[in-house]
Amino acid sequence: MKKTVGRREKISLPEWGISGISGKVDTGAYTSSIHSTFAEMVDIAGGSKLRFTVLDPKNPRYTGKVIETDTFSVKSVKNSFGQAEVRYQVFTTVELFGERFEASFTLSDRSKMRNQVLLGRKLLKGRFVVDVELTNQSLKALKTSKNKKQ
């Protein structure tokens, strides 16, 4: 059974040491994206790695560390103005409603946006339905679950 998410949800990205970051649910966006102002490919023996940072240093959930991954791709996406952009796409584990699953995010400068994380249809499909009148359903469900156990 699909869980209901609101227009904003608190998510965690455990592989990157990020917890409780707010993501805007956007059914108009196919891919999810996360704020990054630094990304570079580094050649290593046997291939390449992507080195990048995520989130804004002014944000209290900012990890301050550089993340490296060898699971990435380069993808062409349409930005909010309908123009094609080439972005790095990275893959990581997302935690929502206490469940973990694999998801992909494009790296994008979202410094002028209100939300540093955008949750698109690809992440939502088959798992969640959206009720735009609600917010933080995952967090509320986890608190309710903890209270029932006590």
**1-53 residue pLDDT tens:** 899 999 999 999 999 989 889 999 999 999 999 999 899 999 888 789 999 99
Q: Total structural domains in the chain? A: 1
**70 DSSP assignment:** S
pLDDT band of residue 143 (cuts 50, 70, 90) is confident
Task: Give the type of residue at 30.
Answer: Y
Q: Which residues pair with 94 in a beta bridge?
A: 101
Strands (E), the chain: 3-5, 8-13, 18-25, 32-35, 39-44, 47-52, 67-69, 72-78, 84-96, 99-108, 117-119, 128-130
CB atoms within 10 A of CB 83: 8
CB atoms within 10 A of CB 144: 10
Q: What is the CATH number of the domain that holds 19?
A: 2.40.70.10
- CA nearest neighbour of 34 among 103, 128, 127: 103
The predicted model scores a pTM of 0.89
35/110 Cα distance (integer angstroms): 5
78/92 Cα distance (integer angstroms): 22
Share of the chain above pLDDT 90, in %: 63
Measured over the CA atoms of residue 109, residue 18, residue 77 and residue 90, the dihedral's sign is positive
For residue 148, pLDDT beyond 90: no
The residue-averaged pLDDT of 106-135 equals 94
The residue-averaged pLDDT of 97-116 equals 92
Range of the domain at 12: 3-149
